[in-house]
A = this chain, B = another copy of it.
């Protein structure tokens, strides 16, 4: 999102995290800006029963965990590598400087926060309800229409495990499995070699 040349110009460091390694934890103060060079990162919480909730998943070139850099709060979630990942790290002060000096980058950061708020708004009204089929379909449609921007029937392959879908939507994995089977019966999704298509 922030061009690599610019990150390098501002002396961002590169660090490699192993699969499952923690980048930062819920409750810590934010000190750095983070951007994925390659790999996949998730931000998550665990409830009292150690049930995981995934706040978001971040891929190559995407940043994560910026909101606390702009307001005086601690991280509301952990950040963990889903696979071995390499991350750009820029200290908070340098990040501010970079934004002050690069108006167009600031607009990109604002756009990124706007996208995440849009996603949260869509998901929030669904995950508060008692209807797993709605939750799941709304999430799939968000991926299809807003993220991958695809048309046609069953053109989008859902690249999440049932377990990941359950963690994102706050459902039990058994509920996700049964509901997807049900949605297949209703013609809403297709399952092929255990993969789901919307």
Residues of A within 8 A of B (CB): 45, 47, 51, 53, 55, 66-71, 73, 76-77, 99-100, 103, 106-107, 109-111, 113-118, 120-125, 127-129, 134, 146, 169-171
For A53, what are the chain B residues with a Cβ–Cβ distance below 8 Å? Answer: 124-125, 128-129
Copy number of this protein in the oligomer?
2
Enumerate 19 A-B pairs (CB-CB under 8 Å) in ascending A order: A45-B125, A47-B129, A53-B128, A55-B121, A67-B114, A67-B115, A67-B117, A68-B114, A70-B110, A71-B114, A73-B146, A76-B121, A77-B121, A100-B103, A109-B110, A113-B113, A117-B117, A120-B121, A124-B127
Which single member of B47, B73, B111, B118 contacts A76 (CB below 8 Å)? B118
Residue of B nearest to A117 (CB): B67
The answer on a CB contact under 8 Å between A118 and B67 is yes
